[in-house]
Amino acid sequence: MNLSRRHFLVLAPAAAIAWKAVSAGTPEQSPNYKTADHWWGMLIDIPKCIGCGNCVRACATENDIPDGYFRTWVERYHVEDEDMTNPQVISPDGGKEGFPVAAEDAGKYFFVPKMCNHCADSPCTQVCPVGATFVSPDGVVLVDPKYCLGCAYCVQACPYGCRYIHPEKKTADKCTLCYHRITKGLTTACCENCPTGARQLVDLKNPKDPIHEFLRTHPVQVLKPQMATGAKAYYNGLDGSVR
């Protein structure tokens, strides 16, 4: 009686550990794509943006985004001469169908495309209580819909307002930087459809990517740099009034 209980106590944990090691297995790997070789970001060239909304429509089509929700959207700023700190910002339906015609007026107008900044030190991943959102080894902030509880902590934590709770899946949803495209050698849907080249997918680990030259020679900013998020959406020609 005593002997069998002792044997059981010794053998059962050993069996559990052994079984766990066996069940771990080897996960699938994409054959030609190595996550360690890439560090993705986005270049957004404000002076080239014409506010056509092609990126917003392309994103919605590519990623099956429900109406009224946006992984990317375009804002139109109107900054009056003597009121630089109070820009008037509009984004009708995310800029999907363009913008009302702006009359010549005091001050300046410009478009600002917005999207997930794919932060290297992203606040949204830090608050996730279940490990459902993460920065991938190639620098893309992703959500695992099978793990997400829909608690929306991340939606609150994102300083750029880039996340939402998907109305059908009831999980957090956001820009994947078209992960299904960039891992196949394609560019993102928004970049593919931008008629003026105002958006460009950049790979900061690729020494031949023109982004390195661009970052050296242009006045480039990220949004909310004071929050130290390590944002990788680089804005060229960004006005100081942009929030």
Partner 1 sequence: MNIFKDAGHLFRFAGLFVLAFIVFLVVRGYVVPKSFGQYGHYRGDAMSDIAAHPVKFAGHQACETCHTDKADEKSKGKHAHVNCEACHGALAKHADDPAAVTPTKPDTATLCARCHTATAAKPKEFPQVNPSDHSNGVPCETCHQPHNPAIADAGGAK
Site residues (CB under 8 A) for partner 1?
Answer: 5, 9, 12-13, 16-17, 19-20, 23-25, 27-28, 30, 35, 47-54, 58, 61-63, 76, 78, 98-99, 101-105, 109-111, 131-134, 136-137, 142, 144, 146-147, 176, 179-181, 183-184, 186-187, 189, 192-197
Is the CB of 58 or the CB of 233 nearer to partner 1?
A: 58
Phi, psi (degrees; rounded to nearest 5) at 106: -65, 135
Query: Shortest Cβ distance from residue 86 to partner 1 (Å)?
Result: 18
Q: Cite the beta strand spans of the chain per DSSP E.
A: 40-45, 72-79, 88-90, 108-115, 133-135, 141-143, 164-165, 172-173, 199-203, 220-221, 233-236
Query: Shortest Cβ distance from residue 137 to partner 1 (Å)?
Result: 6
Is the CB of 34 or the CB of 225 nearer to partner 1?
A: 34
Query: Shortest Cβ distance from residue 173 to partner 1 (Å)?
Result: 11
Is the CB of 147 or the CB of 225 nearer to partner 1?
A: 147
Query: Shortest Cβ distance from residue 194 to partner 1 (Å)?
Result: 7
Is the CB of 61 or the CB of 225 nearer to partner 1?
A: 61
Is the CB of 11 or the CB of 225 nearer to partner 1?
A: 11
Query: Shortest Cβ distance from residue 197 to partner 1 (Å)?
Result: 6
What is residue 112's three-state secondary structure?
strand
Q: Do the beta carbons of residue 39 and residue 138 sit within 8 Å?
A: yes
Alpha-carbon distance of 72 to 116, in angstroms, equals 7
Taken in order 212, 216, 220, 224, the sign of the CA dihedral is positive
Find all residues with CB under 8 Å of 193, minimum gap 6, and list them: 54, 55, 57, 58
Alpha-carbon distance of 63 to 181, in angstroms, equals 11
